[in-house]
Structure 1
Amino acid sequence: MGHQTKAFPIKQLPSKEKRHQLFGSVKPAPRTKPVDKMHMADLQNTKKDFLFDLDAVGVTKVKNPIMIYSSIAPYTQTSIGEFTFTSSLKQTNKGTNMSRFMEQLANYQKNGFSTELDVLKKFTKEIAKRVEQQDAALEVNFPWFFERQAPDTGLTGLNHADAGIRIEYHELKGFCIYLSLSAAITTLCPCSKEISEYSAHNQRGNVIMEISVSEDYQEADLDWKKVLLEAAESNASARLHPILKRTDEKMVTEQAYENPRFVEDMVRLIAADLYETSFITKFKVTCQNEESIHMHDAIAAVTYDKTKEV
């Protein structure tokens, strides 16, 4: 006998319109306000004394696809950036036109939105003009991926660091450029190595580097992401790897044992590298270790302004 499909009773439902009415939908009320833009009230452009100038007004938590160019493979990569777009606002203006920030982004996105500094500087300057203010600021944060090779087997995989760019523009003062990178590293405790009969505890550290760069800096000459990553990793006890076989693991753990680092050591060593980097004008370095034998983390930070030496 053939398989027979079981028949189920069919419930008779009201029409979709009646279902909507059942759950509260009502017919549109009579329309009395203008429908064309020319006759609509423009509250944002109201001119009065609104008590205070505003430091910043705009949109934030804007996620958008981005293109990233890197001097480390993968050389071209796509990612998602989280943006903040702002400008100041004069005391005489009630508000800003938020849609203009998003229109600007949509225009740039048509050709793929690159995180190259020259592109972001141009974008920020145009934003200021578009919202009719003397200044504007753009901030974007994104994960940046880079290829990492195991020290013995040569097996490669992808690591990542969190990068950030902030561009500030003022029609009289020009541009200020702030860059940041958060990278993970390995540190081995010098004290543990010193006092223990054998072994030493180690942990993963997180290094955050925040820098200001000169306005004439050209990232085509030197990739700031690579510079900051190397400053963090080359001063650590050891680098992190996506793929390690036994021979690789032996090399990495021995290297860490040979290069013990406190958080204090880390920030000072990294600061020395950043101090010697010509395009960096100011920097802050923070290192936070997720301690493996304590419930707390260890943290250290250093800030330095090279412009005050002049």
Structure 2
Amino acid sequence: MLSFKPKKERHQLFGSVPPTLGTKPCQKEDMMDIQKTEQDFYFHLEQVGICRVSYPVHIVSKTTPQTQTTSAVFALSTYLPAHQKGIHMSRLTEQLHSFYESGKPLDMNSLRELTAQLAKQMNQPSASVQVSFPWFIEKKSPVSGTSGLMHATVQYDIHFHEKNGWTCHVGCTAQVTTLCPCSKEISEYGAHNQRGSVSIQVELFEQALLPDDMKAVLLHIIESNASASLYPVLKRPDEKKVTEEAYENPRFVEDVARLIAVELYEQQWIRGFQVECRNEESIHQHDAYAKCSYQKKL
């Protein structure tokens, strides 16, 4: 039977020492507030804050599951003038936790409210919130109707300025199937296809009437302009359907980018957009890539 010293003595054996009695104050009101120092610090900072903060969020969707909890990654920041040394970053975390405790769903309205509250709490003229999260969608296979869950990545980027108002961007990244038009044209027996990744970022008109579920609209625009959609579960009749659908709708990566750009342009609530498409080529080691951006004139 092995024998050991008590836990405290074991810790001392491995280097633990008792606390040092210091002379600095322990109460907040007695401590020096370095962040509040004011003098000429040379430059203002457009954004200063915290990033890569993971927090659970509530999502509401027009698609099934209509309510879900997922994990989001946040970045919270505010403006900092040149005469102030720093900000109290703990207040940013406190506001995020208050947002979580409120139980409000993560959407454009609640994020605008959070961003304006950050600026107020930090006593700054502007603030920004960026957040991304996986959004899960139940999808049925096209013939057998077999259900499963897939996900897309949704991003919100909200900036508030007390004089200039709001700048709001929404993004969606999803995967699709593409089939090579050139391969279909020159081959006797078929055509090679690949899985493509499409990422779109759109800027909103400030006073626009927004769709009930922007993320669902953006995902539909991505999937409907590819050769075919992806599905979590496919039985043999479904696989036949998807394979033939891709063959009937061949798309270069250039085609996907342009078709999506046209549909984004047609949306009255979108002020500007950027589309990026990347195909994981099945007959090459490299990927095919296309990018398109546009800003509507006011």
Q: TM-score, normalised by structure 1?
A: 0.94
User: C-alpha displacement at 1:56, in angstroms?
Assistant: 1.2
Aligned to 1:266: 256
Corresponding residue for residue 231 of structure 1: 221
Match of 1:57 in 2: 48
Could you tell me whether the CA contact under 8 Å between 1:190 and 1:261 is conserved in 2?
Answer: yes
* CA–CA separation in structure 2 for the residues paired with 1:45 and 1:218: 41
Structure 2: which amino acid aligns with 1:233?
E
* 1:114 CA displacement: 2.1
| DSSP 3-state at the match of 2:268 | coil
What is the CA distance between 1:226 and its match in structure 2? 1.1
The aligned runs of 1:1-310 (5 Å cut-off) are: 9=1, 11-217=2-208, 219=210, 221-306=211-296, 308=297, 310=298
Aligned residue identity for 2:236: R
Q: How far is 1:222 from its partner?
A: 2.9
**Paired amino acid for 2:91:** R
**Matched residue of 1:164: which SS?**
strand
For the residues of structure 2 that align with 1:139 and 1:75, how far apart are their CA atoms?
23
Can you list the C-alpha shifts for 1:216-259, whole angstroms capped at 9, x where unaligned? 3455x431111111111111110101111111111110010010
Offset at 1:31?
2.4
Structure 2 CA distance for partners of 1:73 and 1:217, relative to 1, 3 Å: farther
Q: Distance in 2 between matches of 1:271 and 1:63?
A: 32
- Paired with 2:149 and 2:16, the residues of 1 have a C-alpha distance of 52
Deviation for aligned residue 1:12: 2.6
Provide the TM-score with structure 2 as the length reference.
0.97
Partner of 1:300: helix, strand, or coil?
Answer: strand
Give the RMSD, CA atoms, in angstroms. 1.1
SS in 2 for 1:110: helix
Q: Is the 8 A contact 1:65 1:113 kept in 2?
A: no
Stretches of structure 2 that go unaligned for 5 or more consecutive residues are: none
Unpaired segments ≥5 residues, structure 1: 1-8
Deviation at 1:113, TM superposition (A): 4.6
Larger Rg: 1
In 1, the alpha carbon distance for the partners of 2:209 and 2:23 equals: 56
Equivalent residue letter for 1:142: F
Equivalenced residue count is 298
How far is the alpha carbon of 1:21 from its aligned partner?
Answer: 1.3
